[in-house]
Structure formats: structure tokens, C-alpha cells
Amino acid sequence: MFDEHARFLRYYCWFSAGLVALGFVIEGLKSPMGVTPAVAILLLVISALCHGVMFAEWRSDRVLERGRS
């Protein structure tokens, strides 16, 4: 039971980290000063990597569960 909660928290942490980076870009675009393109691209890459790690962990856990059955 605790393994399922730990897995969910891992997925949630990666997902929220990706959303925070994406949120900084969106808030920067809404401000009058704007956001520099280099910073926006860096934050978008960070967001994509966080979501990629989350998806990779989900897939690897799914494969492990199939092996246990």
C-alpha cells in the first residue's frame, strides 16, 4: 500500500516541478517587461525534462507490475 503512495508522490513531484517551470514562463509573458527568450526556452526545456522523467518512471513501474503478475 505504501509503495503505491510513494509512486504517486514521485509522479506528482515531477509533474508539479514541470508545471512550476511552465508557470514561470506564462507569468513572464503576462508581465509588461516580458521574459527573455533564452530564459523562456530554458524553463520550457526544464518543464519537458520533468514531464519526461515522470512519464519514464510511470512506464518503468508499469512494466515492473506486469512482471510481478
Of 15 and 63, the one with more pLDDT: 15
| Residue 46 binned pLDDT confidence (cut-offs 50, 70, 90) | very high
| Residue 68 binned pLDDT confidence (cut-offs 50, 70, 90) | low
| Residue 64 binned pLDDT confidence (cut-offs 50, 70, 90) | confident
Q: Do the Cβ atoms of 29 and 68 come closer than 8 Å? A: no
Tell me, yes or no, if the pTM score tops 0.75: yes
Q: What angle do CA 48, 7, 67 make, to 5 degrees?
A: 105
Q: What is the pLDDT of residues 3-41, one digit of tens each?
A: 888 888 999 999 999 999 999 999 998 988 888 899 999
